[in-house]
Amino acid sequence: MLNVAISGKRIRFATGVIVEPKHWNPDKQVPRSTDPHRNAHIKQLARVAEFVQRAYNELIPSGSSKSISLGDIDQLKISVRTFLEPEESEVVEGTSMENRFNQFIETYTIRTPNGMVTTHRPGEKTLFLYRRVLKDLLQWSRAVRKPLTFDSIDEWFYTSHCRWLQKERGLLDSSISNHIKVIKVFMKWSRSKGYHTTSAWESFWRDMRTGETIALTLSELRTIRSLDLSEKPRLARARDIFLLQVYTGMRYGDLSLLEPRHVDRASGIIRITTRKTNTKCIIPITAPLTELFKRYPSLLFEFPSGVKMNAYLKELGVLAGMSQSEIISHYSGGERTESTYTRAELLTTHVARATFVSVSIRFGLPEAVISKVTGHTAKGMLQKHYIILDDETVKGMVCKAWEGL
């Protein structure tokens, strides 16, 4: 709450900032360092205080001897409340929530984990998700016959929209979690721009339990590698691209951007920066990868779309005899459901990355080395600040380990 003392009267306003009591310092009247949204809350409270001070100065110019009347106080109340709770009818054309969301899609730049602004734009896959989220928000708004406004993003919206995404769109909880993440990023961005002062969205929970996946066993990997596909050139190319992903541990989106300039044959290392996390990866050219490159001396690969590639991989899985059953769990509406698939049906590009990590662990590589190759964030103080691995060390350890394939 904001308390304003003026001319012997005390006026209270709701700032729209909600902080748990344990995260609030009552002596200093600021959020504690334990508040997960401390920076945003401090900025918003500072904006409110600055506006009230400015409104008061406009009411009583500096040096003026004018006495404050009840009419002046009422005018101050109106000004502050209009700032804190702008009416939708007062929003000028071109500044609706839909237009603000489109502005967000067109201009948003990635923030660092501690909230610092960068100049990096999200990847195309992320921007596609942003557009999908906006489309679903508009469809939900029409379905429930409720206008889409900043003030409407409250607890009722959260429950209603999540249920709509589950029932009407058939999304699993992990996919709904991605939608909620985008909405929270947008709401945080738009509040920083001064487009609203709400905070109910900060408490939206994300169920990040994902469906289970598989990794190939050494036997399965060797079987796929040795398949005779001379009469199936389409699948032969798909198999080689899959092996390329397994040997490098790259995401398929990053792999599709691989060019000869990224391959440093002299040092025996592939150097590429990931799109998702903007992380520089050190990928040693191991013995299996060297054998694969012999079939592609130009280092030029044709990458199918992700959908086509996953379809090809399922055909490869059948040819490799991956008929064993797997029970996979998914979460929908908070409830766990189980489905049975063959391992061939579960074969996707993501399995390649999981296989690289799993096989590397089996070959004895530590996680600190694997994360240098895959671009995963370092875990813990030791790995982040004290385990410093140069290119030669990573190359030596990875190449020696993958000789076991």
CA distances from 93 to 89, 90, 96, 98 (A): 10, 9, 7, 11
* pTM attached to this predicted model: 0.64
Q: Is residue 127 very low, low, confident or very high in pLDDT (cuts 50, 70, 90)?
A: very high
Quick one: three-class SS letters along 336-358? EEEEEEECCCCCCHHHHHHHHHH
Amino acid at site 12: R
CB atoms within 10 A of CB 153: 24
Q: Which residue has the tokens 């991989």?
A: 313
What is the Cα–Cα distance from 390 to 98, expressed in whole angstroms?
48
What is the Cα–Cα distance from 259 to 149, expressed in whole angstroms?
45
Q: Is residue 130 very low, low, confident or very high in pLDDT (cuts 50, 70, 90)?
A: very high
**Which structure tokens are listed for 147?**
């206008």
pLDDT in tens, 77-122: 888 877 776 544 343 334 589 999 999 999 999 887 677 888 888 8
What is the Cα–Cα distance from 7 to 60, expressed in whole angstroms?
12
Domains of the chain: 2-85 (no CATH), 92-203 (no CATH), 218-404 (1.10.443.10)
Cβ partners under 8 Å of residue 244, min gap 6: 255, 258, 289, 292, 301
44 neighbors 197 (Cβ within 8 angstroms): yes
pLDDT at 175: 92
pLDDT at 82: 78
Query: Mean pLDDT across the stretch 335-345?
Result: 89
Nearest in space to 360 (alpha carbons), one of 403, 316, 313: 403
149 neighbors 88 (Cβ within 8 angstroms): yes
pLDDT in tens, 345-363: 999 999 999 999 999 999 9
Quick one: three-class SS letters along 173-214? HHHHHHHHHHHHHHHHHHHHCCCCCCCHHHHCCCCCCCCCCC
Q: Say yes or no to pLDDT of 14 above 60.
A: yes
pLDDT at 211: 64
Nearest in space to 119 (alpha carbons), one of 111, 129, 130, 127: 111
pLDDT in tens, 269-282: 999 988 777 788 89
Cα 113 to its chain centre, rounded Å, is: 11
Q: Say yes or no to pLDDT of 378 above 70.
A: no
Q: Is 259 left (phi over 0), alpha (psi -120 to 50) or beta?
A: beta
Q: Is residue 379 very low, low, confident or very high in pLDDT (cuts 50, 70, 90)?
A: low
